Structure 1
Amino acid sequence: MRSAAVFLALLLCLQWTWAQGESGEVTGTDTETEGGNRQEEVQFEIQGVGAAHDQSSSQTNITPDIWAELKELRDMAIEQKVELRNSKSKIEKLEQENAVLESRVNTSENLVAELGRENMVLETRMSSSENEVAELKRENADHPKVAFSAGLTDAGHVGPFNTEITLKFSKVFTNIGQAYSPTTGIFTAPVRGVYYFRYTVWGVSTSTWFGAHLYHNEKSMAFNEDYNAESSHVSVSNALVLQLEKGDVVYMTLHPGRTIKDDLHNRTIFSGFLLFAL
């Protein structure tokens, strides 16, 4: 690099001398003066070239440091790029996990909503059932419970009599509502409604008629009798469903000349109960 600078300075000097020889207008003194000045300029230029060379050398010395820094920057960039790729992969993985979580959350929300709807349906049904129970309780409270069952006697034979008599079933087994009177043998309807009645009459006397009537108020609703031709156990039974008004009475009577029997086994029975009120 130094040889090139010196060669360039000499070339400039030769060009200047050639230019002066062609012009022929410069005197000897002037030539010397100008020659001296030109030498100074050439030395100055040579010094400048030297300084430039020194600066170039300095830059040449600095250049390896710049390359090292550039390499370091390149390595940092590569490292950051790798980190960026890793971060991108992590972000994608997080996004996938987030999508899975969102799907699960949506599924859970749907399940919660479905459970909420089912719960509302159950609550509605429960409320309806509670209302029905309350209504039944009100109806049950509004209508009395009525039921009775009684046996005739433990004394054995009853009858015969010359007139028709009311049978007094004195052995009371059940008398809910107290609608049946064992003293009179009469059932009195406490409410308007539909009632069920049943009776069984037993006879054992040989060669005799036995039987009984069932009355609604003063009207005979049923009459059952039989003839016992032999010494054996014979019975008759019947059942009716009657519509009664409040205060109507139902009872049983023994026909004149008839004989019936009862004992500890409760073979002659009179029963009844309210089916539903009207």
Structure 2
Amino acid sequence: MEFRTLLLSTLLGLLFVEPGFGQRGDMNTGQWLKDKEELIKNLEDRVKYAEGCQNDVEALEARLNATVDELMRQKAEVDRLSSENEGLQTRLDATEEAISKLNQSSAKSAPQIAFSVSLANTGEIYRGPCTDKALIFKRVFSNTGDGYDQNTGIFTAPVNGLYYFSFSTYGYNTHAMGAILMKNSILQVSTYDSPTVDGSDSSSNFVVLQLAAGDKVHMELWDNGRVFDNLNGHTTFSGFLVFPV
């Protein structure tokens, strides 16, 4: 309203400051007033239009300000999320690095213990029957960790853990065939085949044992037992550490 009043006052002032207004006796005063009224009406219409334009501009400015505020809010939110994402990525990278180091450390620190042997390292060998029934496997395929002693046939556990052992035996029908897996001189599992009319027999077995460091595992013959081996590796003994405990 202030804008409209000011504009109308200015225009009206200009209308009524017409030179020689009081000296024009030949002018139709009624017509002059009518013309001025129409002019004023036109001016009022233009003022209304100008006011409408001004209102539209103010509305657009308000919407623009609201849009700018929303964009600023969204930018702040994006910046916050970006910062959080960087933090999460940093934590993820650190976690992956820690896991990688842990895996590498576990792989390096876990003892590597395994052996695999057979009875004969040359020619043919019949073992048994005999008083000393311990089987000494002379042909060493592998002995990682040096737990197996090929001079005594005894495996000594280097560390506490669960160990897997397997063995196979082969023999002929003249004697009982098979062997016994012993832990600290106590029978654990075995293979056995009594003398029969068939020509030969073979068998195998396995076991998982929990051993303390220093526990000893070896193979023995049955009483009056006999086994046979050659470079084909019929009679064997193997073991490895599954995991420490």
TM-score (normalizing by structure 2): 0.65
Report how far residue 95 of structure 1 moved.
3.6
Residue 202 of structure 2 corresponds to which residue in structure 1?
234
Residue 23 of structure 2 corresponds to which residue in structure 1?
57
The DSSP-based 3-state class of the residue aligned with 1:82 is helix
Report how far residue 241 of structure 1 moved.
1.0
Residue 52 of structure 2 corresponds to which residue in structure 1?
85
2:191 corresponds to 1:224: yes
Using CA pairs below 8 Å that are at least 6 residues apart, which structure has the higher relative contact order?
2
2:221 corresponds to 1:254: yes
2:155 corresponds to 1:187: yes
The DSSP-based 3-state class of the residue aligned with 2:59 is helix
Letter in 1 for 2:241: L
In the superposition, relative to structure 1, how do residues 91 and 140 fare at CA in structure 2: closer, same or farther (>3 Å)? same
Deviations 1:204-242 (A, max 9, x none): x12421122223334443443212411244314242413
Report how far residue 270 of structure 1 moved.
1.4
The DSSP-based 3-state class of the residue aligned with 1:208 is coil
Letter in 1 for 2:155: F
The DSSP-based 3-state class of the residue aligned with 2:23 is helix
Where does the alignment leave 5 or more consecutive residues of structure 1 unmatched? Answer: 1-53
Q: Report if the CA contact (8 A) 2:148-2:154 is conserved.
A: yes
Residue 268 of structure 1 corresponds to which residue in structure 2?
235
In the superposition, relative to structure 1, how do residues 238 and 144 fare at CA in structure 2: closer, same or farther (>3 Å)? closer
Aligned length: 222
Q: Report if the CA contact (8 A) 2:166-2:204 is conserved.
A: no
Structure 2 distance, partners of 1:156, 1:148, is 22
Residue 148 of structure 1 corresponds to which residue in structure 2?
115
Residue 181 of structure 2 corresponds to which residue in structure 1?
214
Structure 2 distance, partners of 1:162, 1:270, is 20
Structure 2 distance, partners of 1:165, 1:91, is 109
Q: Output aligned runs, 1:1-278, within 5 Å.
A: 56-57=22-23, 78-79=45-46, 81-96=48-63, 99=66, 102-103=69-70, 106=73, 109-110=76-77, 113=80, 120=87, 124=91, 127-128=94-95, 130-153=97-120, 155-203=123-171, 205-229=172-196, 230-245=198-213, 247-255=214-222, 257-263=224-230, 265-278=232-245
Q: Report if the CA contact (8 A) 2:193-2:201 is conserved.
A: no
The DSSP-based 3-state class of the residue aligned with 2:55 is helix
Residue 3 of structure 2 corresponds to which residue in structure 1?
none
Q: Report if the CA contact (8 A) 1:147-1:273 is conserved.
A: yes
Question: What percent of counterpart residues are identical?
Answer: 23
Structure 2 distance, partners of 1:129, 1:253, is 50
In the superposition, relative to structure 1, how do residues 111 and 262 fare at CA in structure 2: closer, same or farther (>3 Å)? farther
Structure 2 distance, partners of 1:218, 1:127, is 50
Q: Report if the CA contact (8 A) 1:199-1:239 is conserved.
A: no
Structure 2 distance, partners of 1:140, 1:55, is 112
Structure 1 distance, partners of 2:93, 2:129, is 62
Q: Report if the CA contact (8 A) 2:162-2:208 is conserved.
A: no
Letter in 1 for 2:161: G
Letter in 2 for 1:234: S
Letter in 2 for 1:214: L
